[in-house]
């Protein structure tokens, strides 16, 4: 069974799994869980949505880092998968995933060597760039490696990476066009600061404002006779906004497959909770100590949940409030003392932020109801290079 | 070379490493670095300190999760290594580390089966307990497994796990003494809330207050004829406080091997910075985009640094201020614009909190000066079960 080698530590569990009898309550906690019904709903809904608007879907793999999930997305119609870094892309490629767009520039001699190796095995791979010297370095390496690299210009429509849109971007495009071993494949415009703007109308205004310079850059390039076959944009928060922006050709959302607390809280088109996609991702913990009435200590802390957001994990049963208890523990407090969990009870949580939480785990247990249907390796976990 | 299989992705790097020519600037970033001179200084200082007070040292392995580091500590005189969870202990045991104390109770049928397997291969292993039913479960499993388990009573001297000191703890000790397949090995009293109290005098008061019930519990047990061969306590923050508390027999500090920003900031015996141990741990990043004067974007974000503390990573050269740029990036701002790092430059950071930062990486690059002397696997990374 793919990715289930962990089960070797527990022959009893392996036997239960082989007999289809391994359930949620059997798992070693803290454990990362995927509700397959919710996950499949999310994939189907996003694929149908993007298709119905005539756009392409290239979901971001940094959210899951899991080739099995990437392949499920491609089976649903995705044209490929985004990877944040070259080392993440390598894992997807080894796992049988094509159509990779690497969304951070590949910088440095040794990483560029890896990019050349990847392009040789997966010639359709696209690399984002925003720096003139980096483009020259990539072109030189491509010449030596006897490949032609597909480049996408990363436009600075947010607060992180990218070249300024319009004239600075056009100058980079002209440089790419002038070099024989690289070609301009498209544009990337990721507005990270827009994804979590609270309120759908506010978010729409912010996204249209952020995307306008990208769309104008595409038009400017085309007026100069420089073809741009794609403009990749969008996040889970703007999935139903960016499809309406003329000139955007593909979406690269990531979190919609899982959802998390911060996305739930940004507000949807129809109300204060953004629930267009279901919460498929949870972390299962066990109560390991019960110091008194109304308090229970679970076995998940800073190493079980990412802590980059101001909120704390949300118990799925809403019966307690979680507060951080350090690296290894969480402290649950119960308003209704009679509901206090006992030592050995399990408690399941929706996570504050999905991507860096998934990055803490080596595998994800895929559940159909309470039964473990598959165990998928998070094969690119830790691959941030 | 141990733990250097990652180098297979880069034959050029492997060759440089084999020839002793692999340096800091060659590494794929973000990368976790260990300054061996500082690390060896820290180990030597702590071992000498604890020995000179006639106590035992059993450092906490949750900080490093690395069997190579555990073995270096044992070579320096540690009597063993603490492990936070059973799955972490398994990795240390497989890596050749003995004298394990598992500091969180082992709860649940399958984990208890694993505890029995571990005790069979490492009979000196000690398991912490704080719950009557769990002790009975362990005893039953030990009977079936034909082993005798060493138990330590975890005392609640902090805000997380543990049984109340004095009479409740004595009742658990009497239960253990009454069961044939478990034996009382000692007491654990870990006051997590004391470790980071600001100011040495304040910290001393807090630690003495927290430890007093533990010391009294030990005395009470001995008056009842129940021998307690150890009382394990202490953190990096109280390393020079708890050795003076009569009745404490061993220390279980973790972070001193690495140090981090939050420990530097608690204040030392001699001044506002706690610098008794050196900063041996850093994260190396590369500038991947430079959007304008005074700003540089590095390739390390929420997946490169733990985010559980309010501070942000500190550039070792103190030339810029880091702010979070999401999962994959950090934003550096420079007061002196002329010092702005360029695309391709590397920037090295001291981390806010060492333990959960180390838990993000699969390996640690051990440097002697600028040269990579070893690459050690963080073999128990993600083992929070």
Q: CA nearest A157 in B: which residue?
A: B291
R_g (Cα) of chain A, nearest Å = 22
For testing the chain B interface, which of A328, A378, A380 should be mutated: the one with the most B CBs within 10 Å? Answer: A328
**Nearest C-alpha of chain A: how many angstroms from B287?**
8
| Strands (DSSP E) found in A293-353 | 295-298, 314-315, 321-324, 330-333, 346-350
Q: How far apart are CA B331 and CA B295, in angstroms?
A: 7
Q: CA nearest A130 in B: which residue?
A: B289
CB pairs under 8 A between A and B: 189
Of the partner residues A326, A353, A382, the one whose CB lies closest to the CB of residue B360: A382
**Nearest C-alpha of chain B: how many angstroms from A369?**
21
- The question of ipTM being above 0.85 is answered as yes
Spans of chain A below 50 pLDDT: 1-7
Q: Answer whether B304 sits within 8 Å of A384, measured CB to CB.
A: yes
Q: What is the pLDDT along chain B (385 residues), one digit of tens a residue?
A: 333 344 455 677 888 888 999 999 999 999 999 999 999 999 999 999 999 999 999 999 999 999 999 999 999 999 999 999 999 999 999 999 999 999 999 999 989 999 999 999 999 999 999 999 999 999 999 999 999 999 999 999 999 999 999 999 999 999 999 999 999 999 999 999 999 999 999 999 999 999 999 999 999 999 999 999 999 999 999 999 999 999 999 999 999 999 999 999 999 998 999 999 999 999 999 999 999 999 999 999 999 999 999 999 999 999 999 999 999 999 999 999 999 999 999 999 999 999 999 999 999 999 999 999 999 999 999 999 9
pLDDT at A8: 52
Q: CA nearest A323 in B: which residue?
A: B160
Residue located via tokens 């580091």: B69
Q: Give the C-alpha distances (Å, rounded to integers) separating B209 from A111, A300, B159, B203, B238.
A: 54, 28, 14, 10, 13
Q: How far apart are CA B6 and CA A90, in angstroms?
A: 13
Of the partner residues A108, A130, A300, the one whose CB lies closest to the CB of residue B344: A108
pLDDT at B42: 98
Q: Answer whether B107 sits within 8 Å of A344, measured CB to CB.
A: yes
| Residues in chain A within 8 Å Cβ distance of B85 | 299, 328
Q: Answer whether B28 sits within 8 Å of A87, measured CB to CB.
A: yes
pLDDT at A4: 39
Of the partner residues A331, A343, A359, the one whose CB lies closest to the CB of residue B303: A359
Q: Answer whether B382 sits within 8 Å of A359, measured CB to CB.
A: no
| Residues in chain B within 8 Å Cβ distance of A329 | 104, 160-161
pLDDT at B6: 45
Residue B233 structure tokens: 């306590």
Q: How far apart are CA B59 and CA B232, in angstroms?
A: 10
Q: Answer whether A302 sits within 8 Å of B306, measured CB to CB.
A: yes
The bridge status of strand A100-102 relative to strand A81-83 is parallel
pTM of the model: 0.96
Q: CA nearest A83 in B: which residue?
A: B328
């Amino acid at each position: 069974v793919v990715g289930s080698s962990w089960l070797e530590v527990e022959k009893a569990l392996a036997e239960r799994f082989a007999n289809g009898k391994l359930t949620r309550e059997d798992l070693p906690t803290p454990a990362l869980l995927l509700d397959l019904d919710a996950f499949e709903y999310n994939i189907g809904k996003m694929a149908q949505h993007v298709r119905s608007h005539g756009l392409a879907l290239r979901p971001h793999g940094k959210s899951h880092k899991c080739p099995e999930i990437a392949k499920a997305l491609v089976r649903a119609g995705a044209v490929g998968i985004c990877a944040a870094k070259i080392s993440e892309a390598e894992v997807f490629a080894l796992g049988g995933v094509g159509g990779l767009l690497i969304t951070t520039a590949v910088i440095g001699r040794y990483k560029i060597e890896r990019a050349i190796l990847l392009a040789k095995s997966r010639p359709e791979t696209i690399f984002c760039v925003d720096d003139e010297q980096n483009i020259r370095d990539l072109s030189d390496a491509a010449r030596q490696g006897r490949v032609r690299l597909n480049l996408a210009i990363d436009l600075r429509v947010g607060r992180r990476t990218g070249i300024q849109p319009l004239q600075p971007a056009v100058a980079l495009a002209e440089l790419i066009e002038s070099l024989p071993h690289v070609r301009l494949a498209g544009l990337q415009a990721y507005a990270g600061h827009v994804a979590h703007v609270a309120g759908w109308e506010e978010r729409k205004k912010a996204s249209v404002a952020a995307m306008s310079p990208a769309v104008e850059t595409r038009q400017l390039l085309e007026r100069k006779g420089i073809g741009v076959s794609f403009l990749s944009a969008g996040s889970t928060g703007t999935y139903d906004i960016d499809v309406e922006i003329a000139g955007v050709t593909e979406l690269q959302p990531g979190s919609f497959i899982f959802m998390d607390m911060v996305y739930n809280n940004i507000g949807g088109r129809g109300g204060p909770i953004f629930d267009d996609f279901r919460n498929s991702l949870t972390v299962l913990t066990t109560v390991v100590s019960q110091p008194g009435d109304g308090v229970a200590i679970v076995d998940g802390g800073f190493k079980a949940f990412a802590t980059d957001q101001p909120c704390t994990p949300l118990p799925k049963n809403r019966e307690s409030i979680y507060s951080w208890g350090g690296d290894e523990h969480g402290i649950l407090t119960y308003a209704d003392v009679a509901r206090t969990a006992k030592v050995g009870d399990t408690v399941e949580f929706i996570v504050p932020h999905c991507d860096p939480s998934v990055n803490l785990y080596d595998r994800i247990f895929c559940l159909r109801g309470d039964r473990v249907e598959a165990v998928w390796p998070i094969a690119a976990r830790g691959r941030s290079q």
